[in-house]
Amino acid sequence: MTMKGYTDQHGLEFTASSPESANRFADFTSSYMGFRRETGEILKDIIETDPDMPMARCAKGYLAKLIGSSNHSARAIRISGELTEHLAKVDANDREKMHAAALAAWCTGDLEKTTRIWEGILLDHPLDGLALRLAHFTHFYSGDGRKMRDSMARHLPLWPEDHRDYGFLLGMYAFGLEESRQYDKAERYGRAAVARNPKDAWSVHSIAHVLEMTERQEEGIEWIAGLESDWSTVNNFRFHLYWHKSLFHLERGEFDAVLKLYDEQISSDIESDFYLDICNCSSLLWRLEMFGIDVGERWGALTDVARKHLNDRDLIFVTLHYLMALIANGDTVAAKQMTDGMREWAKMDDTQARVCAEVGLAVARGLQYARDGKFAKAVAAIDPVRYQLDLVGGSAAQRDVFIMILLDAAKASSDALVARALFSERLGEKVHSSWTWKNYSSILNSVGKTEEAEAAAARAREILVN
């Protein structure tokens, strides 16, 4: 198959057998940025018609890595291993070689190098939407919202506003701003993105985060529900938006609504084995239990999935959520196997291994102690790393479950003064949290502050929906 350089409609050059392949790859990039269900099929079609196209092969490796499991990572390694010789064979361009180098670095676990390569591509090719969205992903799992924010700030001015993917950039910038606690500016950009394309689930989600962090529960429910017919058309990411809706209902004490969303939506495709589904489910069930709700046998299905990932070494954030399911369901054998694997992982020399060593192992110990009723030990494990939790990645809203577990353990321990201090601290940010006020009231009662306790209980009742 004869390969030549072809330029797509956005000015990006591809080594391919036809100009159609270049433009079809632009369709793939747009689909990926929009979380569309047909993304994989588009790439499959490109590979079938143009099997030697370097960017198609590289994208196949990227998608394998994005699944975030050991089996798919092994497939990405095989794809990457074949790329170097292939690139020379087809005379690939410099941008394609850099993409292949990024995949190779990702396969070795060097996320810093991977991200630097993508950002380097963007200096010369700012309209490379795939590099931009992938860098957004790895910035996200570095846990530093400023990196997401600044990456978009660097490149957004270079994109023409009539570019079909421009709205996705607005939403990504909104999310980076939100994770940097610039909520007003984030809301402006996020709403502009959704006005441009209401099917842009990431942008809808960016506003959901703003509303979560600014504790506007009723508005959050209305926002997500009002756009459901649009964002619910995307891939499994849609379940994460139902998760956000559940968080709003949770603080309002609408537990039946939360369980209904969990059963009908959030856990409805758990057998597809998409890591974000497990993260949604594990964190929500543990939250429900901290709110005093019996979740029945729901942990069982999550455990079945988690057992398939005992040896994953991709994202510590995800591994901790698999571990939550195993611990909560009482699967001590599998939980020990996973934590033993984490200890070995922590000795390795890659980005996530270092995070595992610095933070992940401590959280893992804390989870087990909390479930075993060894509450003082749970506090002793998690409290020293709570200001480093951002290193595990994910969003502030997602990581909050670990803070809640710390506070819940502190309340159950014998040290009421530490518990009071931690809950007082939380009220500095969560002044409209029924869970926080209710627990704070209980702690105040335990130290003889009855009047203050009743006032706190009254605040909790005001937030709950009657």
Domains of the chain with CATH codes? 143-261 (1.25.40.10)
Query: 147-169: per-residue pLDDT in tens?
Result: 999 999 999 999 999 999 999 99
What is the pLDDT at residue 452?
Answer: 96
Given a contact cutoff of 8 angstroms between Cβ atoms, the answer to whether 99 and 58 are in contact is yes
pLDDT tens sequence across 62-107: 999 998 888 889 999 999 999 989 999 999 999 999 999 999 999 9
Distance CA 71, CA 37 (A): 22
Pick the residue with more confidence: 2 or 446?
Answer: 446
Q: What are phi and psi of 293, to 5 degrees?
A: -100, 130
Dump pLDDT digits (tens) for 191-205: 999 999 999 999 999
Token pair for 466: 């009657």
Question: What DSSP assignment string belongs to 148-214?
Answer: HHHHHHHHGGGS-TTSTTHHHHHHHHHHHHHHTT-HHHHHHHHHHHHHH-TT-HHHHHHHHHHHHHT
Q: Is the pLDDT of residue 330 over 80?
A: yes
Phi then psi for residue 22, to 5 deg, are: -60, -45
Q: What is the pLDDT of residue 12?
A: 96
With vertex at residue 11, the alpha carbon angle to CA 10 and CA 14, rounded to the nearest 5 degrees, is: 105
User: Rounded mean pLDDT of 431-442?
Assistant: 96
Distances from the Cα of 55 to the Cα of 89, 267, 346, 389, angstroms = 14, 34, 33, 35
pLDDT value, residue 194: 98
CA 394 to chain CA centroid, Å, is 4
Stretch 422-444: mean pLDDT: 96
Give the whole-angstrom CA distance, residue 375 versus residue 83: 51
Query: If you average pLDDT over every residue of the chain, what do you get?
Result: 96
With beta carbons less than 8 A apart as the criterion, state whether 117 and 123 touch.
Answer: no
% of the chain surpassing 70 pLDDT: 99
Report residue 119 as tokens: 């950002």
Taking only the tens place, the pLDDT of each residue in 253-263 is 999 999 999 99
CB atoms within 10 A of CB 10: 19
In single-letter form, the type of residue at position 227 comes to L
What confidence category does residue 1 fall into, taking pLDDT thresholds of 50, 70 and 90? low
Task: Quick: pLDDT tens for 127-144.
Answer: 999 999 999 999 999 999
Contacts of 128 (CB under 8 A, 6+ apart): 12, 95, 121, 122
Q: Residue 37 — very low, low, confident or very high, per pLDDT cuts 50/70/90?
A: very high
Global pTM value: 0.96
Q: Is the pLDDT of residue 319 over 60?
A: yes
**For position 69, what pLDDT does the model report?**
84
pLDDT the model gives residue 68: 82
Q: Provide φ and ψ at 311, rounded to 5°.
A: -115, 15
What is d(CA 92, CA 86) in angstroms, rounded to the nearest whole number?
8
37-53 mean pLDDT? 97
- What is the C-alpha separation between 268 and 245, in angstroms, rounded? 16
Beta bridge partners of 348: none
Q: What's phi and psi for 205, nearest 5 deg?
A: -65, -35
How many beta carbons lie within 10 A of that of residue 184, not counting itself? 9
Residue 288: pLDDT band (50, 70, 90) is very high
Residue 307, C-beta contacts closer than 8 angstroms, at least 6 positions apart: 326, 331, 334
Residue 232 pLDDT > 80: yes
Q: Tokens in use for 79?
A: 């794809």
Mean of the pLDDT values across residues 205-209?
Answer: 98
Q: What is the pLDDT of residue 290?
A: 98
Listed in sequence order, the residues at least 6 apart from 389 whose beta carbon sits closer than 8 Å to its beta carbon are 143, 359, 363, 399, 402, 403
The whole-number pLDDT of residue 70 equals: 84
Q: For position 466, what pLDDT does the model report?
A: 54
- Spatial neighbors of 309 by CB under 8 A, at least 6 apart, are 69, 70, 318, 319, 322
What are the residues whose beta carbons fall under 8 Å from the beta carbon of 312, sequence distance 6 or more? 68, 69, 70, 318, 319, 322
The first and second tokens of residue 145, run together, are 């919202």
Measured between alpha carbons, how far is 328 from 308 in angstroms, rounded to an integer?
A: 16
For the four alpha carbons of 180, 121, 130 and 139, in that order, the dihedral sign comes to negative
Over residues 453-460, the mean pLDDT reads 95
> Residue range 400-429: average pLDDT?
96
Give the pLDDT score at 131: 98
Residue 407 has pLDDT above 70, yes or no: yes
